[in-house]
Amino acid sequence: MPDDVETIKNEALKELESIGEVKRLDEWRVAYLGRSGRLTAVLRTLGALPLEERRALGQRANEAKTALEEALAQREGVIREQEMAQSVAAGRIDVTLPGRSAPLGRLHPSTQMVREICDAFVTMGFQVVEGPEVEWDYYNFEALNIPKDHPARDMWDTLWITPPSESERPMLLRTHTSPMQVRVMEKTRPPVRVVVPGKCYRYEATDATHESQFYQIEGLAVDENITFADLKGTLYQFAQRIFGQGRKVRFRCDYFPFVEPGVDMSIDCFFCEGSGCRICKDSGWIEIMGAGMVHPNVLRKVGYDPEVYTGFAFGMGPERIAMLKYGIDDIRLFYANDLRFLRQF
C-alpha cells in the first residue's frame, strides 16, 4: 500500500527545502514525480479503487502533484539566483589590481628626425612634397645637368632597374632626392619653396657611415631675386633650430653638377665646442649638407628663364644628422631593427 498523499507531499517539500544545487533537483523530481516516483505510485493505484474513493484520492493526488511541481519550479529559481550571485562574487574584478600596460609602438628614429627637420623648414614657409623611389635616369641625372657618360655620375653608385646600356629610357632606384627638384619645377611656376623627404638607394658596401638605403631631405627655393644670402640665412636658421641657438655655420666650395656655385655646410662641433675631438676629426667643424645656387641648365630644362629666376637648393641625410645629434656611431643601426636601439628614441 503506497504512503499517504499528505505524507508524501510533506516529506517531498521538506526534502526540497534542503536542496542547494540545481543538479540535485532532478534526482528529487525523479524520486517523487518520475515514472516510478512515490506520488506516481499513488496515482497508479487509483484504477483499482471504487469510484468514490478514486475520485477523492485522485483529486488529492493531483493537487499534491501540482503543488510539488510549483514548489520545484520556485526552488529552482531560488537556487539559480543564489548560484548566479555566488559566481558573480567569485569572479568579481579586482579593481585594485595594477594593470598590465599594453606595449606601445613609437616612431622610428629616422622618421622622428625627418619630421623634425621638415618642421623646421615648414615654419619658414616651405611645403613638404614626396616623390617616387623608382626613378627615370632623366630626373635622377640628365635633367640635373649630369648627362650620360659624365664623370660626375661616379658620385652616385647606382642600383639600375634598366641600365643605360639596355634601354632608351633607363630606370633606377633614385640615388638622391634631387630629382624631385625637377619634378616640382616641371609642374609649378615660381615661387617654389619645397622640402622633399624620402628614401634613397645606392649600390654601396655598407659600413659604419654608409648604408645602401637611407633617407635624404632635399630643399628648393626658386623665385625672382633669390640670392646666396637667402641660402645662408635659411640654412643658418635651420641649424639654430636643430642643433641649438648660437651654433656657428661655415660654407665652403664644393662641387655638385646641379648647382653653381656649390657648397657644403658645416656647423661648429657641439661636442668639443670647436676645440677638436674625435667626432669632428679635430677640425672643430662637422659637415651636415650640400647646397648651392640652382644651375641655369637645370632651370632651363624645366622652362624657367634663368635671367628672371634664381634659386637655391640643398640636400642632407637625416640619419647622419641624428647620428650627430644623439651620438650614434653606426648608421647600420637604423636598419637593423634591434629593439634595444629603437626603444631609446
Catalytic residue list contains 95: no
Angle between helices 5-18 and 51-90 (to 10 degrees): 0
What region does 242 belong to: left with phi over 0, alpha with psi -120 to 50, or beta?
A: alpha
170 vs 290, beta carbon nearer ligand DAH: 290
Cβ nearer to ligand DAH, comparing 218 with 319: 218
| Burial 261-284, CB ≥16 within 10 A → b, else e | ebbbbbbbbbeeeeeeeebbeeeb
Instruction: Restricting to residues 233-272, name those near ligand DAH by CB under 6 A.
Output: 256, 259
- Annotation marks residue 136 as catalytic: no
Q: Residue 304 Cβ, how far from ligand DAH at the closest point, in Å?
A: 16
CA angle 120, 123, 125 (to 5 degrees): 115
Is residue 136 involved in binding ligand DAH (CB under 6 A)? Answer: no
Using rule CB under 6 A, residue 218 touches ligand DAH: yes
Catalytic-residue membership of 90: no
192: annotated active-site residue: no
**What's the min distance (Å) between Cβ of 174 and ligand DAH?**
10
- Angle subtended by helix axes 38-45 and 5-18, to nearest 10: 160
Catalytic entry in 61, 114, 192, 216: 216
Q: Are 146 and 257 in contact (CB under 8 A)?
A: yes
| Surface-to-core class of residue 306, CB atoms within 10 Å of its CB (0-12 exposed, 13-18 middle, 19+ buried) | middle
Instruction: Establish if 315 lies at the interface with ligand DAH (CB under 6 A).
Output: yes
In the set 202, 222, 295, 322, the catalytic residue is: 202
Length, in residues, of the chain: 345
Single out the segment in contact with ligand DAH by CB under 6 A; choices: 183-191, 242-250, 275-283, 286-294: 286-294
314, 320, 321, 331: which one binds ligand DAH (CB under 6 A): 314
The stretch among 100-108, 228-236, 244-252, 288-296 that binds ligand DAH (CB under 6 A) is 288-296
C-alpha closest to that of 29 among 42, 15, 43: 15
Q: Is the peptide bond before 132 cis (omega within 30 degrees of 0)?
A: no
Interface of this chain with ligand DAH, residues 156 to 215, rule: CB under 6 A: 176, 178
Binding-site ranges for ligand DAH (CB under 6 A) = 176, 178, 218, 256, 259, 290-292, 313-315
Annotated catalytic sites, by residue?
156, 176, 202, 216, 259, 313
